Structure 1
Amino acid sequence: MLSIKDNDKYEEIIKYSKFISFIFRVYSKNEVNDYIDKIKKEYPNATHYCYGYVIDNDIKSSDDGEPSRTAGAPILNQITGNNLNYTLIIVVRYFGGVKLGVGPLTRAYGKVAREVIRDNNIITLVKGYDIMITFGYSDIKDIDYILRDSHIISKVFEDNIIYNVLVTSDILDKLGNYNIKINKDIYIEKE
């Protein structure tokens, strides 16, 4: 599955209106709402805050007062047209005094959404897990070898060793004989 690597921003003035597009990788509706609230606080005098997002089967857009389907739909079309998942684009518009009309307005929102995607790196995400693995000191070489390409968040050395690590499904299978607790399912950037 494809997503964006980094949160990013793109800005353009079209017929005296300032359009600022933001792109975020998101995993929940709560994150979407948090980013929308954040942008509204950072740009409090904007005329419109339009957006589109895709999180698995949760797909939504908003025109935020622009004529129907002139803002949210073209933003969303850029996300879906690039086969992106876990992606939110918010476009802030400062009205410049010239009404663009339905066609040019739709193209303007689509353009700034397309450009913020173009400026970003597209990555592949694979299903993974945030796990805790507990093992004895005699197993450390084997565990470190299996986890050599995984992201180890923390290591605790007590009576046993405890690693908090992000692993893909194939690595989890290789760790099958060890004491593992899955904290949560996640998506990991494929190298």
Structure 2
Amino acid sequence: MVRRRVFGLSLLLLGVIVFFMGSVTSITGFSISEHTMQVGKLIFQIIGSSLIVLGALIFISEGRAYAERESKLREVLGSAWERVSDKDRLIYNKSLRRHLTKEGRRVGERQANNTVNEPEIIRTKYFDKAIKGHEAEIEKAIEKLRSGRGKKEKLAHRDSFSLRTTKGGRIIYDQGEKGKIVLRDYTSDHHYNTK
């Protein structure tokens, strides 16, 4: 956050310097012709103005983004946020920014990759209850399901399929018509509920 705000502030200052550079060049004896100097001043003013606007936008937007991330962290941590040191607050904010950036890329990639071919994935309440504490590996496995990269295994004792997750667990799911996938269960070991 600090680097981006410093970058925005330095662009703003550079823009101010460039903006006033046009008037300085006419004073110092670079005036070959009046017309050429007017064009030169105009170019310096345009470049300077654009740098000022760009620097101000970066400076302000990064400040707002930081405040939004901090409010989200306050909401998640609740009263524990007040006991967190300033250094840890910066660390939490940076890690949340990285997470949101990666999530935005994933969403963008998913939208860029022909989403018409992606199956519709439906989560059941039982599945959501079973995955508590395993969200990261589950998301990776669901991405495998969406892209068709995961190894689909037919279960012998029921009319379902399973997909391995990164730490040895399995997602149990049914594959319906038109590519619809219903996520039924998650097991962290290899014992299946035969309901």
What interval of TM-score do these two structures reach, taking the shorter chain for normalisation?
Answer: under 0.3
Greater helix fraction, Structure 1 or Structure 2: 2
Q: Which has the higher contact order (CA 8 A, sep 6+)?
A: 1
Rg larger in structure: 2
Instruction: Using structure 1 for the length normalisation, give the TM-score.
Output: 0.22
The structure with the largest strand share of the pair is: 1
